[in-house]
Amino acid sequence: MRLSVSLGLWQDRPPEEALETARAAEAAGYPELWIGEMATWDAFALGTAIGAATSSISLTFGPLAVTVRDPATIAMGVASVAALTGRPTGVALGTSSDVVVRGWHG
pLDDT top residue among 66 and 49: 49
| pLDDT surpasses 80 at 103 | no
H or E stretch covering 56: none
Q: In the chain, pLDDT over 70 holds for what percent of residues?
A: 98
Q: For the domain that residue 75 is a member of, what is the CATH number? A: 3.40.50
Mean pLDDT of 89-104: 82
The residue type found at 30 is: Y
The residue type found at 29 is: G
The answer to whether 85 and 47 are in contact (CB under 8 A) is yes
> How high is the mean pLDDT of the chain?
91
Picking from 9, 29, 4, 31, the residue whose alpha carbon sits closest to that of residue 19 is: 9
Per-residue pLDDT reduced to its tens digit, 8-52: 877 788 889 999 999 999 999 999 999 988 778 899 999 999 999
**Domain span at residue 51?**
5-105
Split into its structural domains, the chain has a count of: 1
Decide the pairing of beta strands 5-6 and 32-35.
parallel
